[in-house]
Amino acid sequence: MDDIPKSAANYPPGHPTQADISAEIADIAKNKPTSSDPNWGAHRTLVDYPPYRSSILRHPSANLELVDPETIELASPAFGDRDVHWTEFDLTQQVNGEPQGERIIVTGKLMDADGRPVAGQLLEIWQANAGGRYRQKKERHPAPLDPNFNGVGRVLTGADGEYKFVTIKPGAYPWPNHVNAWRPAHIHFSVFGSQFTQRIVTQMYFPGDQLMPLDPIFQSITSAKGQKSLIADYDHDVTVPNWALGYRWDIVLNGSNRTWRASEDGPEEDE
């Protein structure tokens, strides 16, 4: 056991295993829950999701109050060229040299639920490096920092709602939720729409990642369509010869939690 870093063995007694967490995930999925709160749409992430232990004390117990959005909420901050430098889309060119890892392109469109492009809005991303390490003081994962990778990018969406980032594929990342817990590779996205009611922060995942079924954060979305909404497609047309693999991921905003109803989604809600 000498070759295992100390931090990996430092679980408290009785800490849940992956088998425990997976059983909880399966149990919740079997009941096909939506939220008990009618104001969360059927597609929403469950905020009360005990397999993700940190959610237990950090979600509201009362139902959301349904309100008409007011004037300020129907608008959103006017981020502009002043706020985002055009080079911030490229996470591989922010330091002196090139980061280690597999260079990738992540591109897609920001749209509303009717498929209309949402132009001129701010996307902010952050991610671990190729070794699964985040550049932050409190981070303890004993993977190397990459002096050439900060893991931060920003863009404003273009006229057709399109965006593009150049980055490196993030590594899987261990975390303390349970014994031997690993987050699937993911890129954090913070997104503004044309209305403040459309504000969303989420995570983009990569197709075929075997850690997704084991991950209580990803599994907090119980509908198949909801899960699919977070997984990028590998797109060979985006891939650039001799340079980078390409992924496509569109982001669809919701005007509100309520305008989307499962019944409008047709009969194939989940499967």
Partner 1 sequence: MSTAKANLYPTADQTVGPYYAIGMAYPLSEEIVPAGSVGSIVLSGYLYDGDGAPVPDGVVEIWQTDADGNVPRESGGLVRKPETFSGFGRSGSDDEGRWGFTTLLPAPTEPGKPAFFAVTVFARGLLSRLHTRIYVPSPATDADPFLSGLSPERRATLIATEVVGGLRHDIHLQGEKETVFLAFN
Residue 140 C-beta: closest distance to partner 1, Å: 11
Residue 264 C-beta: closest distance to partner 1, Å: 6
Residues of this chain, 158-187, that bind partner 1 according to CB under 8 A: none
Of 89, 118, 120, 117, give the one whose Cα is nearest residue 105: 89
Q: How far is 9 from 197, CA to CA, in rounded Å? A: 43
Question: 30 by DSSP, 3-state: which?
Answer: helix
247 is catalytic: no
Task: Count other C-beta atoms under 10 Å from residue 254's C-beta.
Answer: 18
134 binds partner 1 (CB under 8 A): yes
Q: What is the largest CA-CA distance in the chain?
A: 61
Of 5, 7, 4, give the one whose Cα is nearest residue 138: 7
111 binds partner 1 (CB under 8 A): yes
Which one, 44 or 244, has the nearer CB to partner 1? 44
What DSSP element (H or E) covers 19? helix 18-30
Residue 214 C-beta: closest distance to partner 1, Å: 16
Residue 175 CB contacts under 8 Å (≥ 6 apart), including other chains: 181, 182, 183
11 is catalytic: no
106 binds partner 1 (CB under 8 A): no
Instruction: Compose the 224-263 pattern: x for residues touching partner 1 by CB under 8 A, - for all others.
Output: -xxxxxx--------------------xxxxxxxxxx---
- Give, in order, the Cα–Cα distances in Å from 187 to each of 69, 134, 153, 183, 202: 30, 11, 10, 11, 9
Number of residues in contact with partner 1 under rule CB under 8 A: 89
49 binds partner 1 (CB under 8 A): yes
Token couple for 263 = 């019944």
Q: What are phi and psi of 226, to 5 degrees?
A: -65, -45
Q: Which of 1, 9, 62, 159 binds partner 1 (CB under 8 A)?
A: 62
Question: Which one is catalytic: 52, 163, 173, 247?
Answer: 173
DSSP tag of 128: -
Residue 81 C-beta: closest distance to partner 1, Å: 7
Q: How far is 118 from 252, CA to CA, in rounded Å? A: 9
Q: Which residues pair with 110 in a beta bridge?
A: 251
Which one, 199 or 239, has the nearer CB to partner 1? 199
Residue 3 C-beta: closest distance to partner 1, Å: 27
Q: Which of 6, 96, 201, 237 binds partner 1 (CB under 8 A)?
A: 201
Q: Which of 21, 28, 40, 107 binds partner 1 (CB under 8 A)?
A: 40
44 binds partner 1 (CB under 8 A): yes
Q: Which of 17, 54, 87, 180 binds partner 1 (CB under 8 A)?
A: 54
Of 107, 122, 223, 89, give the one whose Cα is nearest residue 162: 107
Question: 246 by DSSP, 3-state: which?
Answer: strand
Are β-strands 251-252 and 103-111 bridged in parallel, bridged antiparallel, or unpaired? parallel
Q: Which of 119, 145, 152, 179 binds partner 1 (CB under 8 A)?
A: 152
186 is catalytic: yes
43 is catalytic: no
Residues of this chain, 83-102, that bind partner 1 according to CB under 8 A: 83-84
- Give the catalytic positions in this structure: 134, 173, 183, 186, 188
